[in-house]
Amino acid sequence: MGKGRRALAAVGTVAVAGALCGLAFFSKSSYPTVTVQLPANRAAGYTWVCSVKPEGSFVTVGTRYAPEDGDDPDGGGVETFVLQSRSQGTSQVSFACVDGDDGSIDSTATYEFTTEGSTIRSSGTTADISDTLMAPFEAKVAAGNAA
């Protein structure tokens, strides 16, 4: 784990179904979904896990890990969660990045979502992401700025 930590007002990307290009609109009979993307590094043994309050208000319907650079899978990547709302009202979706070596929590991110009908609104995000997870992204930005 890196010595420094980053306290962020927003982390990763949150895409609410129907709000961004490339996402499908859902009929009234379907449950709406939201996509959350977090910095990750599976090669270093880190795994994101999700918990929800109230329990059952959101369920994970898909996850995917993609390395940032296919030629350097150890350099970090992005963990994508597709979450489906199963109830109306406000829910808190929390993520913890667990270190596979000792089971400690390396980083956290918490989102507050409000579901109204077939719409999900994000009403708040807090995060504490370690340097271990952020370093590959900062290096990529620095390399892009140097070019």
d(CA 111, CA 62): 17
The residues facing 83 across adjacent strands are 34, 60
Q: Which of 38, 32, 18 is nearest to 125 (CA)?
A: 38
Each residue of 27-77: pLDDT tens digit? 444 899 999 999 998 888 889 999 999 999 999 999 999 888 777 767 788
The residues facing 113 across adjacent strands are 91, 122
Global pTM reads 0.75
Top pLDDT among 4 and 33 is at 33
Top pLDDT among 41 and 24 is at 41
Compute the average pLDDT of residues 97-126.
93
Q: Which of 42, 53, 46, 38 is nearest to 8 (CA)?
A: 38
